[in-house]
Amino acid sequence: MRTIKSKVFSPAIRIVVLMIITTGVAYPLLITAIGQTTLPYQSNGSQVVLNGKVVGSELIAQNFNSTKFFQPRNSTDSGSGVDPDITPNMAISQIPVISNATGIPVNALKTLVELDIAKNKETNALVFAPDYINVLNLNVELVKQYPEVYAQEVLVKGGT
């Protein structure tokens, strides 16, 4: 009886310990090391930088409380609660309000929306996703193109 027990338990315990080290420690740490050295942008959450400052992750929705910006979906409307994207229709329907608030011509806003759609299409090898707009990227583009319009919003708490 004792030999049967040791014959089963001893290899089982050893194989578990070996696999914890291999798959639970070595494998994720190796991926972390490779990621941090070769793909630091993705590894650290795809942080978007504007004028040398991090302004969010392009993969995670953030709130915009000014009507000068495009708005993401309400958090509970999506599957993740942090959907960073909206559909072209949702973006286009927001254009009049933004144009009113900022004085940026409707056509210029439309162009920026289309450029973002094209950029996302490229990310998705043209065919692997429906057309969509990344709200943060689009808003960052707005700030870049019209810094004077957004001077107040962007500098509210951030300092210079």
Partner 1 sequence: MDIVILLVVLVGSLGLAVVFGRYIARMIIYEKRPLEKTLGRVENGFYKIIGVDKYEQMTWKQYTLALIVTNAIAAGFLLAVLIYQNNLPLSPKPGLSLDLAFNTAASFVTNTNLQHYAGDQQLSIFSQMVGLTFLMFVAPASGMAAAFAFIRGFIRKEFGLGNFYVDFTRIILTLLLPIAFFSALLLLFLGAPQTLDPTITVGTLQGGNQTITIGPVASLESIKDLGSNGGGFFGANSAHPFENPTGVSNVFECILMLVIPLSFPVAYGHLLGKGRGISILAAMLIGFGVMLALGFSEQSGPTGLETRFGSFGSALFQESSIATNTGSANASLTGMSPNAVIGLFLGMFVQAIPGADGAGMMMMIIFVILTLFLVGLMVGKTPEFMSMKISPRDVKLAAFVFLIHPALILVPSVLAYTTESAQSILGEQTTPATFTQVLYEYSSAAANNGSDYLGTSANTPFWNWSTMAVMLLGRYAPFVLMLAIAGSFTLRDRKEVVEPIKTSGFLFVGVLSIMVFVLTVLTFFPFLIMGPFSM
Residues 28-57 that bind partner 1 (CB under 8 A): 28, 30-32, 34-36, 39, 42-47, 50, 53-57
**What does 59-115 look like in DSSP terms, one character per residue?**
TS-----STTS-----GGGSSSS---EE-HHHHHHHHHHHHHHH---HHHHHHHHHH
Tokens standing for 71?
Answer: 């708005």
Specify whether the CB–CB gap between 106 and 99 falls below 8 A. Answer: yes
- Asked if 99 interacts with partner 1 (CB under 8 A), we say no
The piece of 95-103, 106-114, 134-142 that touches partner 1 (CB under 8 A) is 134-142
Return the number of the residue (11 or 105) whose C-beta is nearest partner 1.
11
Q: Which is nearer to partner 1, 107 or 152 (CB)?
A: 152
CB of 2 to partner 1, least distance (A): 15
- The site string for partner 1 over 52-71 (x = CB under 8 A, - otherwise) reads -xxxxx-xx-xxxxx--x--
Q: Tell me how far apart the alpha carbons of residues 109 and 62 are, in angstroms, rounded to a whole number.
A: 20
Determine, following the binding rule CB under 8 A, whether residue 13 of this chain makes contact with partner 1: yes
Using rule CB under 8 A, residue 24 touches partner 1:
yes
Structure tokens, 84: 């960073």
Neighbours of 26 (CB within 10 A): 11
Interface residue with partner 1 among 96, 105, 130, 147 (CB under 8 A) is 130
3-state secondary structure of 50: strand
Count of beta carbons in the 10 Å neighbourhood of residue 127: 6
User: Which of 50, 115 has the CB closer to partner 1?
Assistant: 50
Shortest distance (Å) from residue 110 CB to partner 1: 19
